[in-house]
């Protein structure tokens, strides 16, 4: 049963590549010195080609073995707990990367929990922008020489043109969603 499924997948990929290249079954058969009947059976998953024959077909269709066998997986849209990466600081504060491999995207969303009186390391000016939405507690945004207090239900946004950092001035943990562009992790 497993072999039938593999034969069907190979046949489907051969047919798709043949169509992309605008070839008839007869034209592909002529290029590979196979019969049209064999190509037809192959595309329907009824026969298994030898490795040599399959490699010859792949080459004649302008592909490579790596491209031919690459899985066509749709891009992941929904991410769950298993996809997250969490970094815990010595003081118990956490940064939770909500999207794996965010460096390949334009934005990097994190869920940050700052313990009481915790201060994140200072970030030097760099190209980019940062946005945050405080979910619980209160934080301070230190931007250049200014300090801004941000409470639960409020947000902050700045271009990262000055030295900046975030702190929790309270005796309770604070939690906020933090999105930066471009990703830094």
CATH number at residue 64: 1.10.260.40
- Return the pLDDT at 115: 98
Same domain? For 42 and 124 the reply is: no
pLDDT tens for the chain, 185 residues long, are 466 778 888 998 999 888 888 889 999 999 999 999 999 999 999 999 999 999 999 999 988 888 888 876 677 889 899 888 899 999 999 999 998 877 778 899 999 999 999 999 999 999 999 999 999 999 999 999 999 999 999 999 999 999 999 999 999 999 999 999 987 75
Which CATH number covers residue 110?
Answer: 2.60.120.10
How many structural domains are present in the chain? 2
Written as one string, the DSSP assignment of 51-112 is HHHHHHHHHHTT--HHHHH---PPPP----GGG-EEEE-TTS-EEEESSTTGGGSS-EEEEE
Predicted confidence at residue 6, as pLDDT, reads 84
For position 52, what pLDDT does the model report?
Answer: 93
pLDDT at 73: 67
Specify the pLDDT at position 1.
46
Q: Residue 8 sits in which domain range? A: 2-69
pTM: 0.62
């Amino acid at each position: 049963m497993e072999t039938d499924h593999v034969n069907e997948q190979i046949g489907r990929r051969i047919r798709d590549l043949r169509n992309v290249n605008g070839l008839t079954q007869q034209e592909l058969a002529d290029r590979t010195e196979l019969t049209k009947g064999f190509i037809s059976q192959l595309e329907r998953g009824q026969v298994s080609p030898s490795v040599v024959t399959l490699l010859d077909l792949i080459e004649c269709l302008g592909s490579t073995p790596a491209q031919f066998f690459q899985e066509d997986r749709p891009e992941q849209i929904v991410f769950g707990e298993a996809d997250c990466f969490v970094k815990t600081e010595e003081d118990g504060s956490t940064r939770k990367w909500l999207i794996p491999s965010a460096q390949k995207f334009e934005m990097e969303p994190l869920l940050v929990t700052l313990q009481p009186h915790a201060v994140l390391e200072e970030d030097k000016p760099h190209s980019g922008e940062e946005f945050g939405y405080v979910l619980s507690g209160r934080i301070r945004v230190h931007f250049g020489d200014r300090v801004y207090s941000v409470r639960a239900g409020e947000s902050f946004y700045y271009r990262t043109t000055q030295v900046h950092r975030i702190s929790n001035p309270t005796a309770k943990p604070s939690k906020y969603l933090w999105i930066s562009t471009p990703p830094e992790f």
